[in-house]
Amino acid sequence: MLRLAYVGGLGLMAGPAGTHLKADGPAKVVRVHDRGTPGEQKETFRDGWRSHGAELVGTFDATVGDGQLDGVVVCCGKNGDDLDIIAELTQLLHERCSGQPFIVHMSTVSAGFTVSAETYCKQHNVGYVNYPLTGGPLGAQLGGGHPNGMLILASGDNDLYTQLEPTLLVLGRPKYYGESVSAGAETKLIGQHLVFNGCTGICTGAALYAECFADGAMGGPQQSEYFDFLNGGAGGTRQWDVALSKGVKDADWNSGFMVHHAVVDAIYAAKLAQEKGLPRLSVQPMINIALAFSFLLQKFPDGPVATHAIAREMIANASQELDGFMTANGAYAPDIDTCLSSAIASLPPSVQETVLLDVSVSNFAA
């Protein structure tokens, strides 16, 4: 049985693991890092981890403890959030653990981050893999025994994947994409191209419906029935089912894929397409939606706001403000590098710090 610790174990994607992992299961979580953040959902996850038998601790030092661990699962934030976490855990595992401990990094980060993280960890005799998750909080709650459980996009060291697979099958639906450490991250970002292009498409459709059939009004049962039917055609997207339908049917624009996370993923997706030599046709839509999300963050600074809320900004009486923001922040610059830099610069400072687009091994050692 694996002995693990969790960092980020009170979040929406990792928290349900405390319920899914059983006493006789393939892994025992001995400690969970807990920053003490209040909240009803976090208390539910705390109860789940306590029932599992895990100790809740307040520091990374205490999370690694005496080093009697096989590895640490990290499911936290983006490049800028997780770099210092990975660096500190690597040092602690190197100093305290026998054999070769590992870090299973389940956050969505850039492909380049994973390459530098693996190199840094190897220098300290610590294994590193990045297994990003997709399927949202509901998928995490459903777990590996359900056909709609979250997907776990695994890659990297094959022996480590084999060791972890029984645990992954309890948590979700894993698929292994080969020995390249960045393949899981690349697969997640390919998926984000599908998500964000679908989001733009369905939100454009909703804005057009509002102008063509509803005097510019967004929402209501007629619009809902319209897209329930039309989305069954060739242009259908899950972004209607999992996102925009909440706004149209229930006037819920604040739950789902949160914009402050989505905007960073869109930037990483744009960067991946640019690095792989794809045309501007492929890169520009990710920059455009990143700027649209940045606009939402500026307009609703107290949040929360979800990705499908861009639909409200696309109807005719609101669209000029969005257009003005995008123009002022470099959406139509002559080259992609300028567009990408301008999109990042448009973000609120707290979000901008999480992006950290270019990561090298030296960043971990700083």
pLDDT of 366 above 90: no
DSSP state of 243: I
243 with 273, same domain?
yes
122 with 148, same domain?
yes
User: Which H or E run contains 2?
Assistant: strand 2-7
CA–CA gap between residue 69 and residue 94 (Å, rounded) = 11
Instruction: Show the DSSP H helices in the chain as ranges.
Output: 17-20, 40-52, 60-64, 79-96, 111-123, 136-142, 158-171, 183-213, 221-230, 238-239, 245-250, 259-275, 280-299, 316-328, 336-345, 349-355, 361-365
* Cβ neighbours of residue 28 closer than 8 Å, sequence gap 6 or more: 1, 2, 3, 4, 21, 53
Give residue-wise pLDDT tens across range 141-197: 999 989 999 999 999 999 999 999 999 999 999 999 999 999 999 999 999 999 999
Cα-Cα end-to-end distance for the chain: 35
244 with 167, same domain?
no
294 with 245, same domain?
yes
pLDDT at 293: 98
Q: CATH no. for residue 20?
A: 3.40.50.720
- The secondary structure of 219-242 as a DSSP string is -SHHHHHHHHHHTTSTT--HHIII
Last residue in a domain, options 180, 212, 240: 180
CA–CA gap between residue 31 and residue 57 (Å, rounded) = 7
pLDDT at 24: 87
pLDDT of 29 above 90: yes
Average pLDDT over residues 270-276: 97
108 with 248, same domain?
no
* Cβ neighbours of residue 126 closer than 8 Å, sequence gap 6 or more: 90, 93, 94, 100, 101, 102, 103
103 with 225, same domain?
no
CA–CA gap between residue 32 and residue 25 (Å, rounded) = 17
Domain count, the chain: 2
User: Which H or E run contains 347?
Assistant: none
Q: Which residues constitute the domain of residue 109?
A: 2-180
232 with 103, same domain?
no
155 with 210, same domain?
no
Q: CATH no. for residue 281?
A: 1.10.1040.10
Give residue-wise pLDDT tens across range 85-106: 999 999 999 999 988 999 999 9
pLDDT of 365 above 90: no
Q: Which of 136-140, 154-158, 341-345 has the lowest mean pLDDT?
A: 136-140
156 with 247, same domain?
no
220 with 338, same domain?
yes
Average pLDDT over residues 115-130: 98
Last residue in a domain, options 132, 164, 180: 180
72 with 111, same domain?
yes
Of the chain, the percentage scoring pLDDT greater than 90 comes to: 96
Are residues 261 and 133 in contact, defined by beta-carbon separation less than 8 angstroms?
no
Give residue-wise pLDDT tens across range 301-339: 998 999 999 999 999 999 999 999 999 999 999 999 999
Of the chain, the percentage scoring pLDDT greater than 70 comes to: 100
Last residue in a domain, options 145, 180, 215: 180
193 with 332, same domain?
yes
User: What is the pTM for the complete model shown?
Assistant: 0.95
pLDDT at 67: 96
pLDDT at 23: 83
